[in-house]
Copies of this chain bind each other. A is one copy, B any other.
């Protein structure tokens, strides 16, 4: 069953698009920030590539933290937990990279994420966005979940242009090359 879009903008929750053996799906990434000792927790049966993708995202965020007025000690004094329901379903791959990073930045800065946006894309340590696979199935899943706006890697534009209009019709697709562009689109209180 598809999980419908959030009703209100929330902090630390971002909708991702996944590609599973049975087609596309949406998954809601949750991040909690807690006073702690700098631990980084990952749950929801994430595979190695996905865990490394989350680690890459947090290092990217640490490297730009000063731009958001966040002290370096912040990351030693708080624990950060990323969880992806459903907890029994194994998940892997790098394509949730920008989704996990957006959820972490939202939690760390306290900025809500727009409820009507979903996204997919690999993140690099320097905040570049790399192309991903299974885009057609992911866009279909977004439509089924009544999502209007989808953030997609710019390098996947040729894949979208090859799709039939049936799939893309009604979807507002934003192409991105950098995490900075992702955040401009997804964080509430930014351009729209």
| A interface list, Cβ under 8 A from B | 12-13, 30-38, 41, 43-45, 48-49, 52-53, 55-56, 59-60, 62-63, 72-73, 75-76, 79, 81, 83, 85-88, 93-94, 97, 122, 124-126, 128, 130
Contacts and interface: CB of A to CB of B under 8 A. Distances in A.
A128 B122 CA distance: 27
Nearest to A48: B45
A28 B124 CA distance: 10
Contacts of A56: 43-44, 81, 83, 87
A138 to B, nearest CB: 16
Contact of A94 (B62, B81, B88): B88
A41 to B, nearest CB: 6
A45 B93 CA distance: 11
Copies in the complex: 6
Contact of A124 (B30, B45, B128): B30
A59 B83 contact: yes
A62 B34 contact: yes
A122 B34 contact: no
B93 A88 contact: yes
B45 A49 contact: yes
Contacts of A60: 32
Given A30-B124, A44-B56, A59-B79, 9 more contacts: A30-B126, A34-B72, A35-B62, A41-B59, A55-B81, A56-B81, A85-B122, A85-B130, A88-B93
B126 A13 contact: yes
A81 B33 CA distance: 22
Nearest to A42: B52
B87 A122 contact: yes
Contacts of A13: 126
15 contacts: A13-B126, A31-B125, A32-B62, A33-B63, A41-B55, A43-B53, A43-B56, A45-B52, A56-B83, A59-B81, A81-B125, A83-B124, A83-B125, A86-B130, A88-B94
